[in-house]
Every structure is written in C-alpha cells, then in structure tokens.
Amino acid sequence: MKLYLIRHTEAIDYETESVRSDEHRFITPKGRRIAINVFKMIKEEMLDLEKIFTSPLVRSVQTAEILALTVKYKNDVEIANELTLSSSPEKVLQLLKRNSIFKSIALVGHEPMMSTVVKNFTDKKDEEFAFKKAGVCYIDMDLDKETGKFVWYLNPKTSEFQKQ
C-alpha cells in the first residue's frame, strides 16, 4: 500500500478572540499557500490516491480538503478519530488494516503522532526526524508484516525530498 502521511499546515495561534480551543484552530492564509505549493509538487505522485482520512481537528480537515482539491481527488475526505492528537500508532495500523482494500491512502494529522508512526512502522529510525507543518512522507507499507519502507519525506520549508 502507498501510504502518505501529511502533517496539517500552519494554523492560527492557540488562543484568539474567537478561538479558545485547540481543536478549533484553523489554518492561516500563509498555511493555505504553503499547502497548495507542497501538494502541487507531489500531485503527479498522488494521481492514484484512493482514500484520504483526516483528524477531526479543523486545521487537519482544512489541510485534507486542500490536498483533495489540488490532486483532483474525486471522493469524500473522511474523518478518522484514529488520527487525533492523542492517538497511537497501533490505532493508525488498525485504521489501515480496516481499509486494506485500497492501494493508496493519505492520512492527515498531527505531531508527534506522525513522526511516531514513521519510527514505529518503517526502517527510518532517526531520532531527530520530525514532521514540519505541511510535510509529507511516503511509505511503501506492507500491512501483512505491519511494517513499511520509508521512501521519501518532502520538507515544505526547503522543498527538498529526503530519502532514506
């Protein structure tokens, strides 16, 4: 399975006059531009994307919607509670196994969970590895073995692909 892990893009600060809860933080105009640019860079890679799951938090949903529009995804973006801030790699694995009929899935979520998934399920063991906002990681996942091969990570700040 092609597995794309995506961290939400830049969101407003934790507390504003109108937003007093972390789960209601929404993405900034700058975050929107960054996400569009990043997703345009990988659009050709994601033409066969079959499923997009996102954390229920507003900033992740908005990032997933930008992904869907940019890569011309034809289905609905689905919310998955397995992608919340407090989720575990085991819950993410269960989500993937329940959806093993798909050959290509994107998961939009948060740090530190995204980095933890990479470290737990791939050959990338770099302790310094962490997702930047709007970062994208591609993993060639083998659900039967519950492991995958780290293929690349796109750093949105440098627009460079980091390979194993």
**pLDDT tens digits along 58-80:** 999 999 999 999 999 999 999 99
Output the CA–CA distances (angstroms, integers) from residue 159 to 27, 60, 95, 97, 104, in the order listed: 20, 21, 29, 31, 23
Mean pLDDT, rounded, for 87-116: 96
The answer to whether residues 55 and 84 touch, using CB atoms and an 8 Å cutoff, is yes
Q: Which residues of 94-120 are buried (b: 16+ CB within 10 A; e: fewer)?
A: ebbeebeeeebbbbbbbeebbbebbbe
- Tell me the pTM: 0.95
Asked whether residue 16 carries a pLDDT value surpassing 80, the answer given is no
Mean pLDDT, rounded, for 106-115: 95
Burial class (CB in 10 A: 0-12, 13-18, 19+), 50: middle
The answer to whether residues 128 and 152 touch, using CB atoms and an 8 Å cutoff, is no
CATH code for the part of the protein at 2-163: 3.40.50.1240
* Confidence (pLDDT) at 38: 97
Closest C-alpha among 88, 128, 80, 129 to residue 108: 80
Q: Which amino acid is at 152?
A: W
* Confidence (pLDDT) at 30: 97
Confidence grade of residue 24 (pLDDT, cut at 50, 70, 90): confident
Find tokens 């091969």 and name the residue: 149
The ranges assigned to domains in the chain are 2-163
Closest C-alpha among 142, 140, 161, 141 to residue 152: 161
**pLDDT tens digits along 116-155:** 999 999 988 787 888 999 999 999 999 999 999 999 999 9
Summary count for the chain: helices (H), strands (E): 4, 7
* Confidence (pLDDT) at 62: 98
Residue 162 tokens, joined: 């980091």
Mean pLDDT, rounded, for 24-36: 94
* Confidence (pLDDT) at 150: 96
CA distance 56 to 33: 21
Mean pLDDT, rounded, for 159-164: 88
Mean pLDDT, rounded, for 81-106: 96
Mean pLDDT, all residues of the chain: 93
- Verify cis geometry, omega within 30 degrees of 0, for the bond prior to 156: no
